[in-house]
Structure 1
């Protein structure tokens, strides 16, 4: 199992334990009860959980949940209520949280040497594990439920087809996919639109399985950093990779996309985003799920496009990520008995917290999902989003 998947709960800080009454009063503002019987109520199994949550915010809550100090049946509903009541403004004041925020601001945590860490740590967790959690095409990004999709597979196919239509793909064109995962988009585009695809990934496991899934289709997987590609393509796409780029590299990322895109081509950027520029990366997610990850703000994306691209279209369907994450969680929960012995109970609690807490964040609209369509100098005659 991956080296960082075991929990790393540090000893409690040496100061007075916050009273349960303060904690209870804070939660009451979000209609959450301690030791209540509703799905979003929290049960305290160890008194250290209260201090940890008040002092460390989401990092403390996530670690208390992983340790079994606190139990919540529906983390997604708990997080949704906490965020909508804006309780996060009053917790997480521990000095221990200053370093992750300062590091993101001052240091480039996504250098060429460090870009491989998230692949080894998260995406190389196990192809069979992800196969059980995801849709049949193994699409590890937000599905589109707005076209009447009733299943995860339908939502993901709708999303893949929307991207193809937004890019105006035509047979014989050549496409670059930056952060291609297991190749679900490339395989779909090659099958349905007759394009040739080159995909970049930093995950050995993804590249190996992707090549098998692609078979004889004109789809190539390259195990390489995006900064090293420099050749012309008719179109460029990046679905769910920009979250690993980091603020210090947004300009270079856009430079790479621009130099690889032909003058009359289109670039579709699909990324999770945050509502507030300068927001520090979530410390729990960075520690246990996506090392070195950082969500961009809208203005940061726009600034990186300046002088390089015309923003032809922006589509926000962040609420659909709530449905996608809960569908992944249902699949994970169903398959968990198969994986329990190999991964352990702490991992199981961690993965539940990951999927459900993120769903709660999207449900509260604290995080978004954006699709930008960009052109080098402006689409002649204007761009029309396909219906």
Structure 2
């Protein structure tokens, strides 16, 4: 079993606390800009392998020290490997091609420094970049410079389950550079890392040890994963986020929720605005303001979404203070509103700050529409 680790803010607890307010959730997809921006005239790129040849064993010899075992751990070891650069280079090229950002992605299969005697990172010279770009007929080189893996293998006993657990946590370190012809040195450098995780259960310690992933397969899978890591840093990518809206409390709110499910956002927005203007309750205004922010986000009108989310946050703050003053059940009903709206406003503010950068990066497609 393989688990790719991702980290995100989980709002499920907040939703459960607000169940009586009928919170509905939905997923939205939106573009986020790449970390590195390339001129729009760079249409054809090549992905090259600029790593040194590695020993057949792929193992990096580093001083080993006895690692302390945690509770329930029976065995633990750490090994360092050179990654398979050929696999990672192909994975990187496929990922960039799949992003459909550049007109064409070419891969250079042969390692540029296969004859190196000493393993080292070596920046491509101006003449090397120009020669490669000419031969490959490309405008830009994306070069894999280094690939290393740290693998921690553990066998532990889980008494509550009466099972022996074999786990491997492999962290891959990927170094990538972008080169332009007629320019000295790299135009951009990325040093990234991420992890991939395997977990298997067994009835005995011996069988658990046998379940640990073998070196060759670990290197293959981790290198393939490592090649995908830089893709979202080099090209704009789609991000999926969870959003929520209030669907209960009045006839207008319930009818608006029906329109949302039918994707009739304009009709839902009209009802939310009607409710916002008519109601004297700050709680109702808070909920309709939050829903209005979501409407504008769905229309890609991020400044208006930020405006309405800010109104919702200010109203939630007022409701929270009033509730505390009245010595009700503290903020069990209102604090989650404020917190979750603040998280949403933070997401919108980030989208707002990325608009100019994203528009610049997508400028290469302006003639396609």
Question: Which structure has the larger Rg?
Answer: 2
Instruction: Return the structure number with greater helix share.
Output: 1
> TM class by shorter-chain length?
under 0.3
- TM-score between the two structures when normalised by the length of structure 2: 0.24
Bigger relative contact order (CA 8 A; separation at least 6): 2
Instruction: Return the structure number with greater strand share.
Output: 2
